[in-house]
Amino acid sequence: MNFQQIILTLQNFWAEQKCVVVQPYDVEKGAGTLNPMTFLRSIGPEPWNVAYVEPSRRPADGRYGENPNRLYQHHQFQVIMKPSPDNIQELYLESLKRLGVDPLEHDIRFVEDNWEHPGLGAWGLGWEVWLDGMEVTQFTYFQQVGGIETNPVAVEITYGLERLASYIQAKENVFELEWVDGITYGDVFLQPEYEHSKYTFETSDVPMLFQLFNTYEEEARKTMDQNLVFPAYDYVLKCSHTFNLLDARGAISVTERTGYITRVRNLSRQIAATYLAEREKLGFPMLKKGDV
């Protein structure tokens, strides 16, 4: 099964489970969790089921395309279901079967792994899913998002697509994965991997990045004062990515680090609270009658 088929299969499967299949969000981010379709929509009483691919940028993980397992940008397949269905583990295992992973041929385990994102004021409990010893999925019941207790609880399933594909296609090197017939992952992503790594570690304009961080932060704050949650959140994402670039460059000392994370967290918390208030003003439109 090629990379593209893996994505299509997962999309179809979760669409069958009544998930809204949306497209990747167009602002740089480190993980699918930061997509507003997850971060914001996990908050509040409205039911929400969504699935999407998320290209995720981790500047510090860039290796110039030379490491077979580490990438500046990798792909996650993200599923959110709120409230978490009672048979969610069975649904997940069914999705693996669709990908051709027969549990009887493998060793599949749910190994405790709790998730915390201080920058988002978010944490949850769950597992990493092991496929013959390889972590292929993160499985998390959100307990708190943006400093707000989740109620009902959303469950997040994050497939690591490259890892899953390298297992399914029995490839050692991520760049040798088959994206579609005749086109490899390397054909599509090797050059950007190299260039982004070089930019991140060698040529990025550090003073400009610091200035950007401050500018984005200020704009986020101003926008939030207008109760415009979604645009304000876009600027928080930009802050977060800019911080990641600076961090990867080694431009932020350990002491300063906490300060920057706290700044991003304060913004996230404020946005989460404003989002909830705005949805309430709208009367939580996605709540069906009788759900309240």
Residues at the site binding other proteins, with contacts judged by CB under 8 A: 67-69, 83-86, 89, 93, 103-112, 114, 124-125, 127, 131-134, 141, 143, 150-153, 155, 167, 172, 253-255
How near is the Cβ of 202 to other proteins at its closest, in Å? 17
How near is the Cβ of 130 to other proteins at its closest, in Å? 9
- Cβ(179)–Cβ(1) below 8 Å: no
- Cβ(242)–Cβ(200) below 8 Å: no
Beta pairing class for 73-82 and 48-57: antiparallel
- Cβ(216)–Cβ(233) below 8 Å: no
Q: Which amino acid is at 194?
A: Y
How near is the Cβ of 225 to other proteins at its closest, in Å? 32
Q: List the one residue out of 249, 227, 235, 222 whose CA is nearest residue 34.
A: 235
Q: Closer to other proteins by CB, 143 or 274: give it.
A: 143
Q: Closer to other proteins by CB, 65 or 124: give it.
A: 124
- Please identify which residue in the block is written with the tokens 């304000």: 232
Q: List the one residue out of 16, 48, 14 whose CA is nearest residue 285.
A: 48
How near is the Cβ of 40 to other proteins at its closest, in Å? 19
CB atoms within 10 A of CB 151: 12
Q: Closer to other proteins by CB, 150 or 240: give it.
A: 150
Q: Closer to other proteins by CB, 51 or 96: give it.
A: 96
Q: Closer to other proteins by CB, 9 or 84: give it.
A: 84
DSSP class of residue 200?
I
How near is the Cβ of 57 to other proteins at its closest, in Å? 20
Q: List the one residue out of 178, 205, 158, 182 whose CA is nearest residue 54.
A: 158
CB atoms within 10 A of CB 142: 25
Q: How far apart are the first and last CA of the chain?
A: 44
Q: Closer to other proteins by CB, 68 or 186: give it.
A: 68
How near is the Cβ of 208 to other proteins at its closest, in Å? 22
